[in-house]
């Protein structure tokens, strides 16, 4: 079928044949389908939606647009996790080595931050010498020898998605649930996973800001992944406050290092990390149930084996051999560290979490366009959990900045993003639901 007829079929609310979807994706990949035609189909899907069968066909076609990895040399289950993105979400840095220490292989292909959300790849690139974009041979070697490798997506994995996403980004069609589903899963299926665990964020710092939409996305991801032959489960987690007490790149790496070594652990961050680890162990067949899996994951954290796997991964990918012994020695530091204080007494009762992420962007630690550079040194630390009692002039965050002008701007943004009230309110649960 001609591209314009495929567009017409979806525009009129009819179901597309898998062969026509595959044909359109081939044209998307080789450039024979124009940008205008891609935009038109994206808009038709945005308004008309897709059936599960259509979403599966789109996902598989996008997976097959490039290289599809397999891991026949590994003698352990291959499982990964994907997060839909948030603020202070450095879970992957702890989760991959915990899962590897428990016996999984975790080839974690991660992305960069965009807008108010942070990117795992940006955090790892703050480690000097770390090779975030290794060749395939090194990637496979590290996964095989260490059990985990956190890297960036190569151009050979699901290239159709890269072009499709770029056009969606400038045509206001990013929010389509079937298109989000196909975008996420095509890359994960191309990574050759045996199973996948998803962390779907929900709240004012998340892409999906209400529970109904978050549950819809989680359900779509799980059903389409299973339809494409990959066992998958999803947790819906709260993003109405930063997950870690730090937001930025190097500062979140230090937070992760403290977590792994036991120096300090944010409680909500620990709950999400261990819950996802338990999902991974059960889906990989290494634990009979979530309770058993939780105990195994916690043990790997407490006995130091997870920290050892992280350190070995960093070293194997070119980073310092002794990174966890003194991470601050190796990471860039902002020239200014300034306190931001509360302007009244009371309790921290809420966050504009997106606003916290935008503070990092103001400092230069995030990007508004994919091509923007990031300053790895800047960010926020000492963010307080909801429910904390503060007095006037109590620190509500430390600002890591390059200039005094940045400090002034970010202090104002922070004070607008942190809600302080006379009466305390309890934070919502951090795990809001499960699919799969």
Residues acting as catalytic residues:
80-83, 120, 168, 183, 187-188
Contact (Cβ atoms closer than 8 angstroms) between residue 199 and residue 237: yes
Phi, psi of 420 (to 5 degrees): -120, 125
Rounded Cα distance, 193 and 159, in Å: 18
CA–CA separation, 243 vs 248, rounded Å?
Answer: 12
Please tell me the distance from the alpha carbon of residue 75 to that of residue 64, in angstroms, as a whole number: 25
Q: State the maximum Cα–Cα separation within the chain, in Å, rounded to a whole number.
A: 67
Ordered alpha helix ranges (H), 284-352: 290-302, 305-316, 327-330
Closest CA to 340 of 400, 386, 389: 400
Identify whether the C-beta of residue 293 lies closer than 8 Å to the C-beta of residue 277.
Answer: yes
What one-character-per-residue DSSP string does 86-127 give? -SS--HHHHHHHHHHHTT-BEEEEE---BTTB--HHHHHHTS
How far is Cα 202 from Cα 210, in angstroms, rounded to an integer?
Answer: 6
Contact yes or no for 386/266 (Cβ under 8 A): no
């Amino acid at each position: 079928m001609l591209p314009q007829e495929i567009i017409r079929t979806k525009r009129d609310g009819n179901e597309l044949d898998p062969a026509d979807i595959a044909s359109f994706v081939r044209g998307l990949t080789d450039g024979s389908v124009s940008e205008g035609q891609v935009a038109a189909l994206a808009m038709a899907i945005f308004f008309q939606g897709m059936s599960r069968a259509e979403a599966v066909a789109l996902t598989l076609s996008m997976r097959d647009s490039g290289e599809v990895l397999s891991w026949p040399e590994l003698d352990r289950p291959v499982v990964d996790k994907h997060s839909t993105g948030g603020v202070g979400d450095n879970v992957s840095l702890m989760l991959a080595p915990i899962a590897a220490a428990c016996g999984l292989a975790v080839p974690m292909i991660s992305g960069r931050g965009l807008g108010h959300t942070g990117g795992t790849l940006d955090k790892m690139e703050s480690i000097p010498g770390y090779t975030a974009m290794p060749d395939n041979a090194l990637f496979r070697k590290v996964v095989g020898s260490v059990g985990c490798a956190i890297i960036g997506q190569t151009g050979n994995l699901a290239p159709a998605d890269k072009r499709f996403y770029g056009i969606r980004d400038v045509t206001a069609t990013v929010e389509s649930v079937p298109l989000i589903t196909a975008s996420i899963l095509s890359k994960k299926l191309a990574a050759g996973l045996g199973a996948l665990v998803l962390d779907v964020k929900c709240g004012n710092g998340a892409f999906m800001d209400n529970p109904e939409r978050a549950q819809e996305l989680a359900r779509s991801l799980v059903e389409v992944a299973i339809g494409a032959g990959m066992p998958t489960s999803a947790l819906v987690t709260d993003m109405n406050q930063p997950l870690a007490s730090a937001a930025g790149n190097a500062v979140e790496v230090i937070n992760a290092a403290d977590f792994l070594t036991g120096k300090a652990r944010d409680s909500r961050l620990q709950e999400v990390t261990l819950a996802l680890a338990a999902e991974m162990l059960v889906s990989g067949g290494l634990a009979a149930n979530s309770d058993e899996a939780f105990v195994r994951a916690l043990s790997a954290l407490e006995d130091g084996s997870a920290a050892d796997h992280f350190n070995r991964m960093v070293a194997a990918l070119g980073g310092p051999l002794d990174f966890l012994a003194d991470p601050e020695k190796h990471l860039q530091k902002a020239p200014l560290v300034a306190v931001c204080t509360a302007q009244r007494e009371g309790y921290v009762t809420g966050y504009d979490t997106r606003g916290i992420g935008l503070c990092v962007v103001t400092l230069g630690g995030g990007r508004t366009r994919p091509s923007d550079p990031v300053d790895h040194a800047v960010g926020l630390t000492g963010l307080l959990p909801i429910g904390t009692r503060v007095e006037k002039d109590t620190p509500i965050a430390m600002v890591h900045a390059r200039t005094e002008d940045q400090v002034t701007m970010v202090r104002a943004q922070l004070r607008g993003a942190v809600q302080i009230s006379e009466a305390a309110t309890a934070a919502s649960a951090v795990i809001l639901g499960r699919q799969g």
